[in-house]
Amino acid sequence: MPQEAHLGGSVTLSNTSMTLTRIGYGAMQLAGPQVWGQPNASPDPIAHTLGLSDNLIDFTTDTNRVVAEMHYTNRFARTPSVRYIFSHAGGSIPYMSARFAIIDEMGFVQGGDERGTAADMFRRMYWDTALSASDPVLQMLHDVAGAEQILFGTDFPYIRRDIGVKYKDRINNSKKLTDSEKGGVFGNNSIKLFPRLFSVRHSAAATS
């Protein structure tokens, strides 16, 4: 089970030699080829005045901040061997892709020659479907990132099992993805990202 990595700290995953290091508010870097991240509670006291939980609005907004910071500080560009996975379809990143394009075109932030465009960056990142498996979101992810960058996720056990199953059914019934693209979301994209999964599954099939 992954352990919590506190802001600015590191933790070694149980029964492994892999170290998880927090590299910014809401993002964590694994010393290896993959990255996981989950937001902390919002530090903004105003965000709590409505009596809403952080996971409704602030977690997704925080993901937007992390992606923007990582891109415009050229951290993505300087870690080309690292594969990044953003949960919940990247917050509202797909919806904001046109804004990123305007920032790039107007050259507001220095370092563009090194980092490239946000549009290219979106197609290098991976995005999961946790709490985001609806046709409008899948369509935006497909257009902005490409179907091969979408990974299946549900947020279980933080949501009920039956809701997680509904998200799987929504993807299965989606008119926005082809059958081949659905197969990618449900496993083939993950196998390319985590080749050890393929070797374990292949070994299990061979011995069954």
Asked, for residue 1, whether it belongs to a domain, the answer is no
Asked, for residue 138, whether it belongs to a domain, the answer is yes
Cα 47 to Cα 95: distance, rounded to the nearest angstrom: 21
Give the residue with greater pLDDT, 73 vs 12: 73
For residue 114, report the phi and psi dihedrals to the nearest 5 degrees: -80, -45
Does residue 81 surpass a pLDDT of 80?
yes
Q: How many domains does the chain have?
A: 1
pLDDT of residue 102: 96
Please spell the DSSP secondary structure of 99-160, one letter per residue: HHHHHHHHT-SS-HHHH--HHHHHTTSEEE-TTT-SHHHHHHHHHHT-GGGEE----TTTS-
Range of the domain at 109: 10-207
Asked if 40 and 7 touch (Cβ cutoff 8 Å), the reply is yes
For residue 169, report the phi and psi dihedrals to the nearest 5 degrees: -65, -40
Asked, for residue 55, whether it belongs to a domain, the answer is yes
Tell me the per-residue pLDDT of 157-200, one tens digit each, with 9 for 90 and over. 778 889 989 999 999 999 999 999 999 999 999 988 888 767 76
Give the residue with greater pLDDT, 143 vs 193: 143
Tell me the per-residue pLDDT of 15-65, one tens digit each, with 9 for 90 and over. 555 555 544 434 444 444 444 445 556 667 777 787 877 777 777 788 888
Average pLDDT, the chain: 80
Asked, for residue 4, whether it belongs to a domain, the answer is no
Asked, for residue 94, whether it belongs to a domain, the answer is yes
Give the whole-number percent of the chain exceeding pLDDT 90: 45
Confidence of residue 71 (pLDDT cuts 50, 70, 90): very high
Asked, for residue 119, whether it belongs to a domain, the answer is yes
Does residue 76 surpass a pLDDT of 50?
yes
pLDDT of residue 59: 75
The torsion defined by the Cα of 57, 58, 63 and 66, in degrees rounded to 10, comes to 150
Confidence of residue 201 (pLDDT cuts 50, 70, 90): low
- Secondary structure (H, E, C), 173-186: CCCCCCHHHHHHHH
Asked, for residue 3, whether it belongs to a domain, the answer is no
For residue 60, report the phi and psi dihedrals to the nearest 5 degrees: -70, -40
pLDDT of residue 155: 84
Q: Domain containing 73 — which CATH number?
A: 3.20.20.140
Asked, for residue 52, whether it belongs to a domain, the answer is yes
